[in-house]
Structure 1
Amino acid sequence: MLLLSHVGFSFMEDLLGTLRARGLKGYVLSSLPEPQHQADRPAVLAGLADHVHVTSGHVLTARDVEDCLDRLRAAGEQVQCCLTVWEGYRHLMALANARLGVPDLDEKQVLDLRDKLTLRNRLADAGLSRGRASLLTPETLAERRSDGGRYFVKPVSGIASFGTFPLTADTTWGDVERITAEARSDTVYADVFTARPGPGTLNPDAERGDRPGMDFLVEDYVPGREFSFEVIAVDAEPHVVAVHEKCEVTETAGTVLENACVSPPVSLSQEEVAAGIHWVAKVLDVLDLDRGCFHVEARHTASGWDLIEVNPRVGGSLISPSVAALTGGPGLLDLWLDSLLTADRPDGFGATLRSLSFAADGTTPCRSATFFRVFFAEPGTIRAVGLNDDLPLEPVVAHVLLEPGDVVHSSSREVFLGQVLWRMDRADRDAVLPRLLPASEHAIEIVYERERG
């Protein structure tokens, strides 16, 4: 299998471990890591993969992927499929799979999904979203800021939560320019913002005026509690493997931090879950998405379901391990990989998916529940950091991603400190969760260096 890695990361340890368990070779094509990781990260990958090729640029291109496939074919390797979890390379994965003859989304479908402006209005036209979006300009910013409504700002073609924030009376065009400057200087995220999602998605003749070098949209604020549907679609049949409720979401001036998730949801009735599954199926149908892995983010109110965005990939953070803990077997990465490897014989895999997924009536076969918390670092120099060993429930997954001496800079994107996942019997969840929620806030303890005056 060909795995596409962005700057040396993108869940490579998880993906390569999944391939090893299947007896498959893993070939990693990675863009150049950030300077602080260039000395060690390629060597780490080389110890895990059968072959690693690192390009000279921080961003992979279609030519990089095509050249890699040519080299593998010349070496006599039979590449079964290509996979990446980095959304900025999802269209390259589609391109590679098309060349390999593996059924997948096509490149245009992926790029269209990444155009959040057109996507929002397309679903509104279909009656599946109550909100609409407009291109953000100094004029539309002033109009929305003064009309008293609630709005949200995000990059037209963004990733993660970088540069996403609620519009307030204090928001200025200078804030947009500041976030743009940060994006341009960010090695990891720059390319996914500056490149347009695809040809024709915005009016090429529109007057840019003093708009920044990346496009933002302003959309009607979507109210309600936030959820995500983890979906594997095979032959136009979507399977909702899990539903996560985001029980803590923090909206700041420059980003949105998704702090904690629980699955199955605690605040939804079975009927509301069923309505959500039906709504997701209609969204995928309108968008003509008949296969692939999707992380569909949505909000729910008494008036029903509405969209945040459709991501054509596995969810980030601990979504895949959470699914594994729920099913007692495969995680979402495993299922996505299986859907690619069995694309020419979907019947047996479809039966497996149905046995793991929510039924149309909103019931789930899983007897477990999960809760995970993601931790974000604050600006400063880390003096000490580690996992708290005094917790009411032992975690099943714990990652501490930063080390003493690391320096965290102020940014409009989240800086991950670590993440911790717990599993419990679903029958015990309502008793365990009230104790675990407050205790989990201190699952990772961190001390910063004091500033010297």
Structure 2
Amino acid sequence: MSTENATGVLLLSHVGFSFMEDLLGTVTARGLKGYVLSSLPEPQHQASRPAALADLADDVRVSTGHVLTARDVEDYLDRLQAAGAAVQCCLTVWEGYRHLMALANARLGVPDLDEKRVAELRDKLTLRNRLADAGLSRARACALTPQTLAERQREGGRYFVKPVSGIASFGTFPLTAGTTWTDVERIAAEARSDTVYSSAFAVQPGAGSPVDPGPHTHPAAEEDVGAGAGPAHGRAGGMEFLVEDYVPGREFSFEVIVVDAEPHVVAVHEKCQVTETAGTVLENACVSPPTSLSQEEIAAGIRWVTSVLDVLDLDWGCFHVEARHAASDWDLIEVNPRVGGSLISPSVAALTGGPGLLDLWLDSLLAAGRPADFGETLKNLSFTADGTAPGRNVTFFRVFFADPGTIRAVELNDDLPLQPVMSQILLEPGDVVHSSSREVFLGQVLWRMDRADRDAVLPRLLPASEHAIEIVYERERG
């Protein structure tokens, strides 16, 4: 590793992926070096991914295990600093490593969430009830056990099940009269056997007790699923679940950058198609700014998000706040201490005509010495307090999920009413998709239009976009 002009950024990668191409491009565009610490890739990627990262980064270190640890981070920082590298900050998009990012930034003296707050955000049971106590959520939650499962089914209301600490909608589903504890244990078994996702379901020490889609942007896993500190939440095979009151309404996400306790909502995405299955929730399509909300309702949402961040004492960072809106009220799905997955970051870039969300998050860390100046930059790119969106652009993106089977052919459809500004196909012919309780990303496509054209273009684009990626599966031999 060259020590000449060695000012750079530490990037944490899980199993060799986690948006590394995007992050390294963002870092190098600022004239900084990219230092990558990755956990060991899965066997099929162990030969290719470290080499691919080495072609893009200035230094790459791969751990011996599939999950990074605090010791891995400390040792790599020691090595970089001994070699003369001036590490400015640490960044990761994988929520399972968010506490490690916090640890590294604390050591580097960079303002960020501390590890305790990261853990508190990832404990969704405690978080839900904390916001209910503050009057910011109408829903409450309790540990899911065979007993509480039976009680909720007898009550006959609407309830939702999710891991206490999870990621990527794995194992999240509405409770039905047919749900059994065996179903829950099956999902937990899938989580334990999933190298990529397994440890993301363990609440990190320090709590009151991590889209990153597809094989080309793999997220991470952590060791000892279900082990460690935490309250006695419901456990199925070592994995903790909760059951909460169902939150009704249309679903939205607020993309927020907080600098020096001042929140900036740089985008509001409306999830215009969400599919709830027996084992997961698939978020299929998003539009920003929202089409179903008035400016006043967006303003109310911004005030509500600001109150949530204030109650949780979140004074620095990037947040993907998922919420639902019904009957003029806002309520929480969850607060993620990171960028949203899939095309959220490019959607922000297309919306503002400027930087994406990854760029803004990195810049917020690099701007520690001049928060007021960067805050002014954010203000010009963000929604105003009265709900006015920045600029004149509208973005729409659709995410595609694969069905179980072997892929024979997959390609982008060029017969669409509006050509996309960005597309990604994440699987290829010959890939085998197995049945799972987590989504398997096939690809994603992003469009941009002028707000004046939205009402004419979007109604045609919505149904047509369902076929933007065409896929054919091999027939089963009978």
Is the shorter-chain TM-score for this pair beyond 0.5, marking a shared fold? yes
2:285 maps to 1:260: yes
Q: Does 2:307 correspond to 1:299?
A: no
Alignment pair present for 1:196 and 2:203: yes
The alignment partner of 1:80 has SS state of strand
Match for 1:240: what amino acid?
A: V
Question: Does the aligned pair in 2 maintain the 1:273–1:362 contact within 8 Å?
Answer: yes
Note the 1:3-402 alignment, pairs <5 A. 3-193=11-201, 195-199=202-206, 201-202=208-209, 211-402=236-427
Classify the secondary structure of the residue corresponding to 2:152: helix
Tell me the CA shift for residue 64 of structure 1: 0.4
Is the 8 Å Cα contact of residues 320 and 337 (structure 2) preserved in structure 1? yes
Q: Shift in Å at residue 38 of structure 1? A: 1.2
What is the rounded CA distance, in whole Å, between the counterparts of 2:477 and 2:315 in structure 1?
Answer: 57
**SS of residue paired to 1:241:** strand
**Once the two structures are superposed, what CA deviation does each residue of 1:142-173 show, in whole Å capped at 9, x if it has no partner?**
00011111000000011110000000000000
Q: CA deviation at 1:259?
A: 0.1
Cα deviation 1:186-243 (Å, max 9, x = unaligned): 00001111x2333463497977897430100000000000000000001111000000
Q: Which amino acid aligns with 1:238?
A: P
Please state whether the residue corresponding to 1:230 is helix, strand or coil. strand
Three-state SS of the structure 2 residue aligned to 1:175 is helix
Distance (whole Å) between structure 2 residues aligned to residue 434 and residue 208 of structure 1 = 45
Paired residue secondary structure (2:359): helix
Distance 1:87 1:210 in 2: 21
How far apart, in 2, do the equivalents of 1:205 and 1:153 lie? 19
Change in Cα spacing, 1:97 to 1:205, as seen in structure 2 (3 Å) is closer
- Paired residues in the alignment total 452
Distance in 2 separating the partners of 1:209 and 1:445: 41
| Partner Cα distance (2:184, 2:390) in 1 | 46
CA separation of 1:283 and 1:166: change in aligned 2, threshold 3 A: same
Instruction: State how far apart, in whole Å, the 2-side matches of 1:383 and 1:205 are.
Output: 46
Unaligned runs of 5+ residues in structure 2 are 1-8, 210-227
Deviates more, 1:198-207 or 1:339-348: 198-207
8 Å CA contact retained: 1:230, 1:243: yes
Q: Distance in 2 between matches of 1:244 and 1:100?
A: 33
1:103–1:343 Cα contact (<8 Å) kept: yes
Deviation at 1:250, TM superposition (A): 0.2
Amino acid at match of 2:144: L
Q: Pick closer, same or farther for the CA change 1:208–1:275 going to 2, 3 Å.
A: closer
Indicate conservation of the 8 Å contact 1:243/1:263, yes or no.
yes
1:39-79 deviation line (CA, Å, top 9, x unaligned): 11111111111111111111100000000000001101000
Q: Distance in 2 between matches of 1:123 and 1:56?
A: 40
Kept after mapping to 2: 8 A contact 1:115/1:198: no
Q: TM-score, normalised by structure 2?
A: 0.93
**Letter of the structure 1 residue corresponding to residue 132 of structure 2:** A
CA distance in 2, matches of 1:140, 1:240: 37
* Alpha-carbon separation, structure 1, partners of 2:175 and 2:407: 32
Structural RMSD (CA):
1.4
Deviations 1:388-421 (A, max 9, x none): 1111111111000000000000000000000000
Structure 2 contact 173–277 (Cα < 8 Å) conserved: yes
Q: Secondary structure at the match of 1:215?
A: strand
Q: Which amino acid aligns with 1:98?
A: A
Identical counterparts, % of pairs: 83
Alignment CA distance shift 1:432-1:159 (3 Å): same
Do 1:379 and 1:408's aligned partners in 2 also have CA atoms closer than 8 Å? yes
Unaligned runs of 5+ in 1: none
Which ranges of 4 or more aligned residues in structure 1 deviate by more than 2 Å?
195-212
Q: Are 1:403 and 2:403 counterparts?
A: no
Question: TM-score w.r.t. structure 1 length?
Answer: 0.98
1:269-308 alpha-carbon deviations (Å, 9 max, x no partner): 0000000000000000000001100000000001400000
Distance 1:436 1:349 in 2: 36
- The alpha-carbon distance between structure 1 residues 135 and 329, as it changes in their structure 2 partners (threshold 3 A), is same
Q: Is the 8 A contact 2:234 2:242 kept in 1?
A: no
Deviation at 1:321, TM superposition (A): 0.1
Q: What letter matches 2:208 in structure 1?
A: T
CA 1:155 to 1:209, structure 2 compared with 1: closer, same or farther past 3 Å? closer
The alpha carbon displacement at 1:80 in A equals: 0.2
Q: In the TM superposition, what whole-angstrom CA distance separates every residue of 1:12-37 from its partner, at most 9, and x where no partner exists?
A: 11111111111100010001111111
Q: Does the Cα contact within 8 Å between 1:138 and 1:211 map onto a contact in 2?
A: no
Q: Which amino acid aligns with 1:151?
A: Y
Task: Determine if contact 2:259/2:364 at 8 Å carries over to the other structure.
Answer: yes
Aligned counterparts of 1:64 and 1:319: Cα–Cα separation in 2: 30
